[in-house]
Structure 1
Amino acid sequence: MYTDIIAINKNSWEEAAENFYGRNSLPEYGPLAPLEDELNLFGDVAGLNILDFGCGSGHSLKYMDERKAKELWGLDLSKNQIDAARKLLDDSHSKVMLFESPMEENPGLPEGYFDIVYSIFAIGWTTDLAKTVENVYRYLKSGGSFIFSWEHPLYSRVRLKERALIMDQSYHEEGSYDHEAWKIPAMMQQVKVSTYINTLIDQGFHIERIEEDVRLTEKDRERHSNRWYSYDKATMVPTTLIIKCRKP
């Protein structure tokens, strides 16, 4: 079943990749979310080996290169995204290794090798959260960090109507769903906050930080007018869940 969903999502991303070039990349964690400049979850990455899960067009890896990371590794389901990332990172000072692969599979990544694994607004595309987190744990060195962000599980469960939030879907329902804001057939995963936390704990991670604040400026008000990630809705419910944890 999960292989069918991966195939659907791969086809969707091959078609949509160009529309997401450079979007939702560090220092941004997600729409209307705090920036890395404010949170400082990564700290100094100079000389570190970095792996990006769902690297997209490579702009987050470019951000890491500008901060003098030693090695840049990334994987993404889409060939078009990997091609874009490879072109973007062509003049990087860091060593670059990119793989076209789903998160649930290991395309040849070394275990116990990375100082940081991160995923910026991509982990909700996994068909198997436990397997993906297990992979991340294996790839990390002891003491290494896993940092990820995704749409906050509450955000798609409520609607804003005349300054009131109306819950029209159960928060308790988890699993694959066709996101209404995604115009091409694709399946994302609804996961409760507790499921994220417990999955990390079950795999052996120590959780260090959870962020669900919003960042609202007048520029954001104009930028997100009449969009899925609405400024007005974000004043009442978080758009993004951000978690940092560590492999002991």
Structure 2
Amino acid sequence: METEEILKLNKDSWELSAERFFGRTALPEYGPLAPTEHQLQLFGDISDKKVLDIGCGSGHSLQYMGDKGANELWGIDLTTKQIQTAQEVLRNQKVNVSLFESAMEEDPGLPHTYFDIAYSIYALGWTTDLRRTLMNIHNYLKPEGIFIFSWEHPMHDRIKYTGEAFHLEKSYNLEGPEFNEAWHNNVVIFHRKLTTYINTLVETGFMIERVVDDVLLPEGEVPQDYTKWYSVQKAQLLPTTFIIKARKRS
């Protein structure tokens, strides 16, 4: 499929499904069964910072940033319904809010060399062009600005429960666009190795400060649900989520 076809397919699917994700996987959470910002403290002091959310969804991560004292709240998202919801969620913020309906591969007119912080919570992996998206983010940031993102660990959907045990079902090494099983094959997401994310960050002018793939398992007894997409049983074997903090070189 061509890039424009993938973007249209994904946008159409998100427009139909957006309400299921309102407020889910938003800061201070980084992802399912992963450490939170309360534990990791990756952002530091957000007071008076200009922040940009890549794939801002329903706006709840931006709301968190506003509540923590950010000075300007900016976001982009592919989905009309998400932008509309974010506008409602953020309408009582006392600072400037600017939202753009746009694919992250495109620059919708955001200011360059402007933001102190850019971040993406479980959204960056939707890009059809990782290098172009990271170059955009690099352009948006001030020198020494930070970029933090989380995404599903690329080993997670390689492993599948087959009724008796977890088995490797797909090659980790084979990268490229795939219909996504968790979305009932109604969207296309690019499979990329963890090293691809790291190396592309470096190649586009970022310094890696931290990589996190720890698992945060619930305490006490948990239901035995091996078939759940983000099951505790699977997370006992491998991470669900990875998180990277990088900084734009000065």
Q: Deviations over 1:49-75 (max 9, x none)?
A: 000000000000000010010000000
Any conservation in 1 of the 2:209–2:245 contact (CA below 8 Å)?
yes
Query: C-alpha distance in 1, partners of 2:216/2:108?
Result: 36
Q: Is the 8 A contact 1:56 1:81 kept in 2?
A: yes
Aligned positions of 1:57-206 closer than 5 A: 57-160=58-161, 164-183=165-184, 185-206=186-207
- Distance in 1 separating the partners of 2:218 and 2:13: 32
Please state how far the C-alpha of 1:96 moved relative to its aligned partner.
0.3
User: Residue 244 of structure 1 aligns to a residue in which SS?
Assistant: strand
How high is the sequence identity, in percent, across the aligned residues? Answer: 51
Q: Distance in 2 between matches of 1:184 and 1:160?
A: 18
Question: How many angstroms does 1:163 deviate by?
Answer: 7.7
How far apart, CA to CA, are the structure 2 residues paired with 1:204 and 1:97? 26
Letter in 1 for 2:134: V
Give the Cα separation in 1 of the matches to 2:128 and 2:177. 8
* Partner SS, residue 181 of structure 1: helix
- 8 Å contact from structure 2 (residues 123, 150) kept in 1: yes
Deviation of 1:137 (Å) = 0.3
CA distance in 2, matches of 1:216, 1:226: 17
> What pairs with 1:25-64 in structure 2 (closer than 5 Å)?
25-64=26-65
Q: Which residue of 1 aligns with 2:237?
A: 236
Name the amino acid aligned to 1:34: P
CA distance in 2 between counterparts of 1:223 and 1:135 reads 43
Q: Distance in 2 between matches of 1:222 and 1:165?
A: 17
For structure 1, list consecutive stretches of 5 or more residues without a partner in the other structure: none
Residues 147-193 of structure 1: CA deviation (Å, up to 9, x unaligned): 00000000001124578542111001111111111136111111101
Quick one: structure 1 residues 83 and 225, their matched pair in 2 at CA, closer, same or farther if it must change by over 3 Å? farther
Other-structure match for 1:245: 246
Structure 2 Cα separation of the partners of residues 147 and 163 of structure 1 = 37
Q: 1:96 to 1:225 in 2, by over 3 A?
A: farther
Secondary structure in 2 matching 1:221: coil
Query: How many residues matched?
Result: 248
Question: Partner of 2:146: helix, strand, or coil?
Answer: strand
AA partner of residue 172 (structure 1): N
Structure 1 residue identity aligned to 2:42: L
SS at match of 2:42: coil
- CA shift for structure 1 position 221: 3.4
User: 1:181-235 CA deviation, whole Å, 9 max, x = no partner?
Assistant: 1136111111101100110010110000000001111379359775200001001
**Structure 1 residue matching 2:211: 3-state secondary structure:** strand
The Cα offsets for residues 31-84 of structure 1, whole Å up to 9 and x where unpaired, read as 101000000001110100000000000000000010010000000000000000
1:12–1:184 CA contact under 8 A, matched in 2: no
Q: Equivalent residue for 2:3?
A: 2
Question: Does the C-alpha gap of structure 1 residues 105 and 26 become closer, same or farther in structure 2, counting only changes over 3 Å?
Answer: same
Structure 2: which 5+ runs fail to align? none
* Amino acid across the alignment from 2:197: Y
Change (3 A) 1:80 1:223: farther
Q: Which residue of 1 aligns with 2:213?
A: 212
Structure 2 length as normaliser, TM-score? 0.95
